[in-house]
């Protein structure tokens, strides 16, 4: 059974940090490009970060220098380390995996940045 399960969301104060996890099962995870998207109420979905099968990374402009994406293929997990969080980072965060033929999505995890 193919699954992507996100975890690690929660409530954090501005300036704080969180680490999101995306755990995969049921497919050859190491061959897939994995990315994190986020969507806030009333806003369009935004690409946050991408890591491909070779480990190359890209980030959205709004999170560059604050967020880091990395993967542990042995643990079949991709992580999003988020630092210096701002209220505008508040959103539901979704993990997505693709080999450009097949696409898998997680159910999302909520991140709320508020004092």
pLDDT digits (tens, 9 = 90+) for 66-102: 999 999 988 899 999 999 999 999 999 999 999 999 9
Question: What is the DSSP secondary structure assignment for residue 15, as one 8-state letter?
Answer: T
Q: Which residue has the higher pLDDT, 57 or 75?
A: 57
- Number of other CB atoms surrounding residue 102 within 10 Å: 10
Share of the chain above pLDDT 90, in %: 91
How far apart (Å, rounded) are the C-alpha atoms in residues 39 and 81?
17
Largest CA distance in the chain: 42
Question: 72: which strand partners?
Answer: 77
Which of the four pLDDT bands, split at 50, 70 and 90, describes residue 39? very high
Q: Is the pLDDT score of 27 beyond 90?
A: no
């Amino acid at each position: 059974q193919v699954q992507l399960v996100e975890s690690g969301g929660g409530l954090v104060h501005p300036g704080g940090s969180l680490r999101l996890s995306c755990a995969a099962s049921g497919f050859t995870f190491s061959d897939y490009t994995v990315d994190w998207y986020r969507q806030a109420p009333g806003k369009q979905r935004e690409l946050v970060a991408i890591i491909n099968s070779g480990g190359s990374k890209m980030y959205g402009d709004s999170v560059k220098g604050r967020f880091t994406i990395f993967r542990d293929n042995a643990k079949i997990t991709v992580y999003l380390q988020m630092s210096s969080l701002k209220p505008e980072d508040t959103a539901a965060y979704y993990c997505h995996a693709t080999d450009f033929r097949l696409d898998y999505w997680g159910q999302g995890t909520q991140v709320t940045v508020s004092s």
